[in-house]
Amino acid sequence: MNPVFLGKALQQIKNPNILVNVISQRVRQLGQGHRALVEADVFMSYMDIALKEVAEGKITFEIDETVAAKGASALLGNKGGKRRR
């Protein structure tokens, strides 16, 4: 992992947890054959390419406010925050 790309990507996406999710999704896409949105060196890994894309502003994220308002329990399918068994 290139620390320069990582530092610049963290300037674009401040939350490291979100950055990890964005990068992992993009690495999967690149692995499936999607084209890189930036100039990539032959020796760059998919992670470096994804970090460079974020650092250059080619890849961003957006949070769906309706899902965010419902909270984590809605994402997990829990009602009332209780665990299912």
Residue 84 falls inside a structural domain = no
Q: What is the CATH number of the domain that holds 58?
A: 3.90.940
**82 within some domain:** no
Residue 62: give the domain boundaries: 3-76
Given pLDDT bands bounded at 50, 70 and 90, which one contains residue 1?
A: confident
Q: How many domains does the chain have?
A: 1
Residue 9 counted as domain residue: yes
> Does residue 83 belong to any structural domain of this protein?
no
Residue 34 belongs to some domain of the structure: yes
pTM: 0.76
For residue range 14-67, what is the model confidence (pLDDT) as tens digits? Answer: 999 999 999 999 999 999 999 999 999 999 999 999 999 999 999 999 888 877
Residue 66, token pair as written in the block:
């309706």
Does residue 26 sit within a domain? yes
Structure tokens at 35: 């084209």
Q: CA-to-CA distance for 20 and 31, rounded, in angstroms?
A: 16
Tell me the CA end-to-end span of the chain in Å, nearest whole number: 40
Contact 5, 40 (CB under 8 A): no
